[in-house]
Structure 1
Amino acid sequence: MIYPIQMKNKLLILIMARKGSRDSISRQNLRLVNDKPLIHYVLQTALNFHDADVFVSTDSEEIKEYSMMCGAQVIPRPRYLTKSSTSVKEISFHALKILEKNGMTYDKCLVLHPKFPMIQQKTIKSFFSLLKNDIQTVFGIAQIIDSKLNYSVKTTNKKLIKLEPSNTRSALLNRIVSFKTKNFLKQKGKFIAPFHGLPLSNNELHSLSSYHDFKTFEQILNRKKILVRIDATVEIGLGHVYNMLTILNHLRNDEILIVMNKNKTLGANKFKEQLYNVKFFSNVSQLDKIILNFKPDIIFNDILNTSEKYMKKLQKFNSMIVNFEDLGNGRRYANLVFNPIFSKKRPLTKEFYGGKYACVRDEFRIWTNTVNRKETKKILISFGGTDPANITSKILECIKNNSLKEIEFTVILGYGFEHKNEIKTKSQSMSKDGFKIKLIDKSDFLAKYIRDTDFAIISNGRTVFEVACMNVPVLSVAVNDREKSHSFVNDHKIGKHMIFNKFTFSKNLSKNIQHMLLNTNRRKYKSNLKKLELLNGVERVIEIINNEFNKRN
């Protein structure tokens, strides 16, 4: 008997859910996860796929009642089909024959199992749509392994993998399979070759076989979905990218999506190297679609000053909004704003200003600088990942004009550095004249060079915090209007700050370098550096974000 009998579609989803066994967790399919029985999750996903009828094959009265309460139909499973050795084919054949006897004939069937609770609707759709022409059977697959199944994989396209008999390599076939029912029934419950496999995502492959798996699944269900809007170009620099990488490193348990403008993708590979998903958009409607599909709990904006129009539109998605380095009019519509580079006496509610909210990379928190040389021996030069104004070249000219041959200069060339060839040519020429110039190209370990320098000549952006947290005096140069508003160096008296002016730069730079060469000045700046609270900024930011999120939920 079927509870109840009703056929609406030509597609069938069959969920296998027996009472339990000696080789599984007690009451596994009914064990609560986030106050819902495990079977609830695959049931809801299947029922929300409205193009298929959903049946549950079970020997459990409790599973039967719960499934019917959720809106699924039930096929009672006989005891002889509840053994651990019972195959998916046997259960499927039994269910289809019962349905056939009740006048219900389906074209295609997809078998699912509660122990794989994270199957997605788009994957369900693929399992059905791939059953066409000569493709009769599609298994859900995880990876290539050695097993008794004796199937090796041969890729035919991005979605589908052909499975062929082999004695050397084999594919793990999950308890998830779709097939055409006509030939399956004609062959008395045999899957029809050629067999194909549909690779499942890492989340979908999460199966529950132990108590630890249940705990992990609960953590996955409770994790936040965070969408990160970030832009980076040669003009903007890579500071935003490194800032966000540092923050996201403390949110590894959450689901992260990076979203970038197609014309501002410098640094995208940095996110991909860290295994983050990255999507690009070229117009507002594409961005809206990405946000709508992802359904983020939190949206991070690290895109400089936001407009009221942009922020008001984001509010319609009902996500918590967190902005970084934002002095725009749109910031008043954010739930939180972090402006560590700026100082403000009367911030808006939920705005956080000052260096204590700076998020410095881990390497700068591990290493420190203990240099206390009376005479300056080493100076570091770093103007971010791009240096669009080519300040590095102008500094080398100043070094040359002042004949600073006794000092070793370490010049950092960033990943987006535009004037690399010019710098290399100039440094080679200066080296021949007796200057000590060392070029470091695309280093991911900047702290190595900062920890042995007497002071640093750097851009007046987020690099200031990285150098300062290692107790290194700073000579900062503000190049653009944004950097001119960064007052951290002057506020805390940790070095000299100057604004770039092409007419006076060389003269002012020479004067400030001479100031920094004096040991008494550097000692004073080092003393002030030790008073700063920079090392735990990222923890402060994460704590504030989590607290605000918890209040909203």
Structure 2
Amino acid sequence: MFNNNKILVVIPARGGSKGIPRKNIRLLNHNPLISYPINIAKSSEYVDDIVVTTDDSEIALLSEKFGASVIMRSEELSGDDVPLDPVVYDAMVKKEKQTFDEYDLVVTLQPTSPLLEPSTLDAAIEKFEDFAIDSVLSVVDDRHLSWGYDEKNERYFPNYIERKNRQYLPKDFRETGALLITRRNFVHEDSRLGTNLDLIEVSRQESVDIDNFEDWWIAENYLQKKKVAIVVNAYDEIGTGHVHRCLSIASKLVFHDVLFLMDEQHQLGIDIVDSYNYPFEIYDGEDDLIKILRKHSPQIVVNDIMDTSREYMTQLKEDGYFVVNFEDIGVGSEVADVVFDALYEHDMGEKNVFTGYKYYILDDEFYFQPQKVITPQVENVLIAFGGTDPNNFTETVIDSILATSYDGRINVILGLGYDGLERLIDKYESNQSVQIYRNVSDISEFMFKADLIFTSAGRSMYEVCSLGVPTICLCQDERELTHVFANETNGFINMGLCADVEKQEIIDQFIGLVNDYELRLEMNQKMLSVDLKDGFENIWAVIREEYRKFELKGQKHENIQ
């Protein structure tokens, strides 16, 4: 049908907008608003001609630059109270005179609906394959519990019979104004609607109608929304910190679509992500991971899987993704667009690598805890060696503390990956001072209430530092020895590799710290002098800048917010 029909798109764009002055030429996500309906029409499979009807020379100039023809409307058709019907009719008649032809369908697209998809426009046009259809309008399902007002009796009344959750209410469509398509013979000065109407339902995103600055802000965030794929795992050897960092990142990407990709061999990470209700897919090997990424076609791929290979990273770059890696000191890091490493504070001499504590992302719960006030007495000790504690430092430290005269509380937090929970419970169940917890959801509260903490030199050192709790660090392995943040300058006592530390050394260090109020106060002040609250903002600022460079290289023609 459509090869034999001429289709005209009319875009009305006055210069005298009131809600947002000069909105049609303002830049929305780096492009003038008037460019959006023009590009939508140009992307259609069926549109023949595009005309912008305006009273403004600047709008006319921009419209022509973006590929539309222009009809300058008269002053009589440019007032605030003039409806669209005579404006569209005027543009249609003048365009037909220019082309010496008559159109079959006339489409009205409005600049105030910049999020309409070209595929939606084409789907609306295709409805006219049914010759009984005269007009098609765009609508959005706007069902909700609403109320009316009876002015005569001065009372409110419900517009529903039964109160139900929104998803169970009957559909209630609201016009979006994004598009209206009518057969040529129904376009008049006082109407653009035929006798037989059909509706095309659009998404919430496509239904955004820019009338004020709030609408503008919503539209801009939609336009800047990205698909972000996060590849991350958790298992005994690497712990759960990687997953929790990525969950913290995901919680802040509220304007973006996030998908987690998890290795099917590592159930621990899958269970954690699943408990947070984020969407995820499971992959079986690197080839399967690449296939899933291609299926979803994200703009950004985040890898929090530690050391990457050059082959894997090269494939991601060949597929056109912007790649962000965390804690990657493998050869693949050279290929990534950005690498963040809060744990390894060293200069690798690579321009794409950003290291140091300012790129650490605190879990949300730590933003709302007050700073620790140091008291002369140590009455609460916390032992927390991460999600797995593969060397069982937990038991070593408990035994060391119990060998002293300390008679306060000992809270022990074990992660999901800790092996030996039952044995630990059996060993200490008769000791009322030892309280064992597993996989707590409010670890910041335990840390804040503690007067002294034992932990490893992993991510927990940043968490305790943000609160200012005196801490003794014991490194799990050689890799943790390179996590230099846990040092005296930042308020920590770092005893090095725990395997090299004798039990008596732990006892002596513990007793010394318990009895030295001034030292604990000094450690507290050093910790609180370190600003750890802006990690995500620092990371996202780098990503925005590097993505801009990536964009300018021509790999992606998008912006990021």
TM-score when normalising by structure 1 = 0.70
With over 3 angstroms needed to count, the CA separation of the structure-2 counterparts of 1:240 and 1:447, relative to structure 1, is same
| 1:203-244 per-position Cα deviation (integer Å, ceiling 9, x unaligned) | x344322356557756776x5858453302233433224434
Other-structure match for 2:115: 118
Q: Counterpart of 1:289 in structure 2: which amino acid?
A: R
Q: Counterpart of 1:451 in structure 2: which amino acid?
A: F
Tell whether the 8 Å contact from 1:456 to 1:472 is kept in structure 2 after alignment: yes
With over 3 angstroms needed to count, the CA separation of the structure-2 counterparts of 1:71 and 1:545, relative to structure 1, is closer
Q: Secondary structure at the match of 2:307?
A: coil
Aligned mates of 1:343, 1:28 — CA distance in 2: 47
Tell whether the 8 Å contact from 1:232 to 1:240 is kept in structure 2 after alignment: yes
With over 3 angstroms needed to count, the CA separation of the structure-2 counterparts of 1:35 and 1:92, relative to structure 1, is same
Of residues 456, 466, 471 in structure 1, which corresponds to 2:468? 471
Other-structure match for 1:515: 509
Other-structure match for 2:153: none
With over 3 angstroms needed to count, the CA separation of the structure-2 counterparts of 1:130 and 1:487, relative to structure 1, is farther
Other-structure match for 1:197: 201
Corresponding position: 1:455 with 2:458: no
Corresponding position: 1:289 with 2:294: yes
With over 3 angstroms needed to count, the CA separation of the structure-2 counterparts of 1:115 and 1:470, relative to structure 1, is same
Tell whether the 8 Å contact from 1:302 to 1:325 is kept in structure 2 after alignment: yes
Other-structure match for 2:407: 406
Of residues 373, 376, 398 in structure 2, which corresponds to 1:373? 376
Q: Where do 5+ consecutive residues of structure 1 fail to align?
A: 1-6, 153-159, 165-169
Residue 42 (structure 1) shift: 1.9
Q: Secondary structure at the match of 2:312?
A: helix
CA RMSD, Structure 1 to Structure 2 (Å): 5.2
Other-structure match for 1:157: none
With over 3 angstroms needed to count, the CA separation of the structure-2 counterparts of 1:413 and 1:17, relative to structure 1, is farther
Aligned mates of 1:171, 1:151 — CA distance in 2: 14
Aligned mates of 1:73, 1:523 — CA distance in 2: 78
Aligned mates of 2:262, 2:195 — CA distance in 1: 47
Matches within 5 A, 1:432-511: 432-437=430-435, 439=437, 441-443=439-441, 445-479=442-476, 482-483=479-480, 485-489=482-486, 494-497=492-495, 499=497, 508=502
Tell whether the 8 Å contact from 1:151 to 1:171 is kept in structure 2 after alignment: no
Of residues 310, 316, 323 in structure 1, which corresponds to 2:325? 323
Q: Counterpart of 1:268 in structure 2: which amino acid?
A: V
Tell whether the 8 Å contact from 1:13 to 1:112 is kept in structure 2 after alignment: no
Identity value in percent: 19
Aligned mates of 2:403, 2:381 — CA distance in 1: 14
Of 34-43 and 53-62, the range deviating more from structure 2: 53-62
Matches within 5 A, 1:18-33: 18-19=13-14, 25=20, 27-31=22-26, 33=28
Aligned mates of 1:93, 1:278 — CA distance in 2: 52
Corresponding position: 1:47 with 2:47: no
Other-structure match for 2:384: 382
With over 3 angstroms needed to count, the CA separation of the structure-2 counterparts of 1:433 and 1:464, relative to structure 1, is closer
| 1:28-78 per-position Cα deviation (integer Å, ceiling 9, x unaligned) | 434555775421112113212334445346354756675455334678889
Tell whether the 8 Å contact from 1:494 to 1:528 is kept in structure 2 after alignment: yes
Corresponding position: 1:174 with 2:176: yes
With over 3 angstroms needed to count, the CA separation of the structure-2 counterparts of 1:458 and 1:178, relative to structure 1, is farther
Residue 115 (structure 1) shift: 0.4
Residue 161 (structure 1) shift: 12
Tell whether the 8 Å contact from 1:410 to 1:438 is kept in structure 2 after alignment: yes
Tell whether the 8 Å contact from 2:9 to 2:50 is kept in structure 1 after alignment: yes
With over 3 angstroms needed to count, the CA separation of the structure-2 counterparts of 1:36 and 1:541, relative to structure 1, is closer
Tell whether the 8 Å contact from 2:143 to 2:169 is kept in structure 1 after alignment: no
Residue 304 (structure 1) shift: 0.9
Tell whether the 8 Å contact from 2:7 to 2:104 is kept in structure 1 after alignment: no
Other-structure match for 1:140: 139
Q: Where do 5+ consecutive residues of structure 2 fail to align?
A: 149-157, 161-166, 553-561
Aligned mates of 2:77, 2:353 — CA distance in 1: 65
Other-structure match for 2:530: 534
Tell whether the 8 Å contact from 2:400 to 2:503 is kept in structure 1 after alignment: no
Other-structure match for 1:309: 311
| 1:346-371 per-position Cα deviation (integer Å, ceiling 9, x unaligned) | 64445444445433345445532223
| 1:96-141 per-position Cα deviation (integer Å, ceiling 9, x unaligned) | 99979945435xx764311011223344455557888899656331
Other-structure match for 2:155: none
Corresponding position: 1:232 with 2:233: yes
Equivalent pairs counted in the alignment come to 512
Corresponding position: 1:71 with 2:67: yes
Matches within 5 A, 1:140-159: 140-141=139-140, 143-144=142-143, 146=146
TM-score when normalising by structure 2 = 0.70
Tell whether the 8 Å contact from 1:367 to 1:470 is kept in structure 2 after alignment: yes
Residue 93 (structure 1) shift: 12
Matches within 5 A, 1:77-88: 84=81, 86=83
Aligned mates of 2:241, 2:304 — CA distance in 1: 10
Q: Secondary structure at the match of 1:310?
A: helix
Q: Secondary structure at the match of 1:469?
A: helix
Other-structure match for 2:334: 332
Aligned mates of 1:262, 1:192 — CA distance in 2: 54
Of 344-353 and 234-243, the range deviating more from structure 2: 344-353
Q: Counterpart of 1:442 in structure 2: which amino acid?
A: V
Q: Counterpart of 1:449 in structure 2: which amino acid?
A: F
Aligned mates of 1:135, 1:486 — CA distance in 2: 72
With over 3 angstroms needed to count, the CA separation of the structure-2 counterparts of 1:449 and 1:332, relative to structure 1, is same
Tell whether the 8 Å contact from 1:461 to 1:486 is kept in structure 2 after alignment: yes
Q: Counterpart of 1:190 in structure 2: which amino acid?
A: G
Q: Secondary structure at the match of 1:531?
A: helix
Aligned mates of 1:183, 1:269 — CA distance in 2: 56
Other-structure match for 2:273: 268
Tell whether the 8 Å contact from 1:184 to 1:192 is kept in structure 2 after alignment: no
Q: Secondary structure at the match of 1:240?
A: helix
Residue 451 (structure 1) shift: 1.8
With over 3 angstroms needed to count, the CA separation of the structure-2 counterparts of 1:90 and 1:500, relative to structure 1, is same
Of 45-54 and 536-545, the range deviating more from structure 2: 536-545
Corresponding position: 1:341 with 2:340: no
With over 3 angstroms needed to count, the CA separation of the structure-2 counterparts of 1:528 and 1:40, relative to structure 1, is same
Other-structure match for 2:12: 17
Other-structure match for 1:3: none
Q: Counterpart of 2:410 in structure 1: which amino acid?
A: F
Aligned mates of 2:480, 2:198 — CA distance in 1: 63
Q: Secondary structure at the match of 2:446?
A: helix
Q: Counterpart of 2:451 in structure 1: which amino acid?
A: D
